[in-house]
């Protein structure tokens, strides 16, 4: 799963699948029954009745499928607005009409142009700071760069999200998803300010982070917890490692993961084993000593995480609105999102072209690589020129 980033059109000033881990609470042994004198005098034994426990309740997952449908609908609307045949010379799958995709050179993910994504609400730091469009920190999480991008993220959301919603319900999982998505966008906006960014993977990494912290804070009630912990850590590490490839916004992944990790200690805390066992005691059983609902370390993690979340979101939002570029204060942090190698470059400068229109002839020269090309295109529109410029500069 990945958050995509794209160059900003020159007319403006410059934004995969995981395995779920299903772990079950340890079996609870029913203590030897202690009965009251009244029960002893009964002539015939009564059936043992066990109390209900909220932990055993399984929720019907409807919110995560609704999120998937909403993301698909948003992608269809985005492609409708994009209208490739009207704005580009060449399109993929032209039989789809206005839903056809931009050329591979412009968008290899089978999707819209960067101008369309920007119009639909992609994360653009300049517009957030100078245009006071803070809503983009949320809207970008519901947009996707292409069909492949959408497919990978939605499959991941179904695999991870449904299990969590079954265990904790739609309210907690919905808050975890939304707040993690915002956290991912916030960190991305502080570090990636020359490109636009879209995708739900910040929220998806938040769900993964929540799964990890839920396992940690509820450690005592789980069986096979070490194996589950190692597996989760490996899955998270692999997905974060993929983020060092170019054109992937790994800062959104990291921000979403950290937000979800802290939120898991707040939202996904479970009662400790001893207290939970009391809910299953037979009627008439009197426990030797009542245990508190949560362990001390659970309460400590709850307080620390809540403080860190509030402080982090507050400081991050203030820095963003002041137009701070976090790269100026951390010279090595850019390597967290892209590591240059002999096979690829991490430079993602916006595409700019020198344009000359002579009659029906359009001459373009890319300012970044010096390539030139001539097109027979009478009355070229800005969107057509931008699409051709993007292809020429790649």
What amino acid positions are annotated as catalytic residues? 201, 253
C-beta atoms surrounding 77 within 10 Å: 12
- Structural contact between residues 15 and 125, judged by C-beta atoms closer than 8 angstroms: yes
Phi and psi angles of residue 335, each rounded to the nearest 5 degrees, phi first: -70, -15
How far is 207 from 263, CA to CA, in rounded Å? 9
How far is 372 from 76, CA to CA, in rounded Å? 34
How far is 291 from 308, CA to CA, in rounded Å? 29
* HSE-up (13 A, CA, CB side) for residue 76: 6
As separate numbers, helices (DSSP H) first and strands (DSSP E) second, the chain gives 13, 5
How far is 253 from 205, CA to CA, in rounded Å? 6
**Cα–chain-centroid distance for residue 203?**
2
Helix (H, G, I), strand (E, B) or coil at 112: coil
């Amino acid at each position: 799963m990945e958050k995509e980033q794209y160059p900003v059109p020159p007319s403006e000033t410059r934004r995969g699948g995981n395995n779920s881990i299903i772990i079950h609470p340890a079996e609870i042994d029913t203590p030897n029954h202690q009965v009251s004198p009244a029960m002893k005098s009964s002539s015939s034994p009564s059936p043992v009745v066990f109390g209900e426990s909220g932990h055993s309740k399984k929720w019907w997952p409807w919110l995560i499928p609704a999120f998937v449908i909403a993301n698909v609908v948003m992608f269809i609307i985005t492609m409708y607005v994009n209208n490739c045949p009207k704005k580009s010379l060449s399109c993929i799958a032209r039989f789809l009409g206005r839903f056809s995709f931009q050329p591979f050179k412009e968008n290899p993910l089978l999707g819209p142009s960067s101008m369309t994504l920007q119009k639909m609400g992609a994360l653009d730091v300049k517009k957030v700071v100078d245009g006071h469009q803070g809503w983009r920190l949320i809207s970008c999480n519901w947009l996707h760069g292409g069909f492949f991008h959408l497919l990978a993220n939605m499959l991941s959301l179904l695999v991870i999200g449904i299990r969590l919603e079954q265990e904790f319900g739609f309210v907690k999982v919905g808050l975890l998803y939304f707040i993690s998505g915002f956290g991912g966008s916030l960190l991305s906006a502080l570090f990636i300010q020359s490109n636009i960014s879209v995708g739900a993977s910040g929220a998806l990494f938040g769900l993964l982070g929540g799964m990890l912290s839920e396992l940690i804070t509820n450690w005592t009630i789980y069986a096979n917890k070490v194996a589950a912990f190692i597996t989760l850590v490996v899955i998270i590490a692999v997905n974060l490692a993929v983020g060092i490839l170019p054109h992937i916004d790994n800062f959104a992944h990291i921000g979403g993961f950290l937000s979800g990790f802290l939120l898991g200690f707040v939202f996904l805390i479970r009662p400790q084993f001893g207290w939970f066992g009391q809910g299953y005691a037979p009627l008439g059983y009197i426990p030797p000593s009542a245990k508190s609902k949560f362990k001390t370390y659970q309460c400590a993690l709850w307080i620390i995480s809540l403080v860190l979340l509030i402080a982090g979101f507050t400081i991050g939002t203030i820095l963003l609105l002041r137009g701070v570029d976090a790269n100026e204060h951390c010279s090595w942090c850019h390597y967290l999102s892209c590591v240059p190698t002999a096979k690829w470059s991490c430079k993602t400068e916006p595409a700019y072209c020198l344009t000359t229109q002579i009659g029906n002839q359009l001459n373009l020269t890319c300012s970044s690589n010096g390539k030139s090309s001539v097109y027979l295109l009478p009355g070229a529109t800005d969107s057509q020129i931008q699409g051709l410029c993007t292809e020429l500069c790649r």
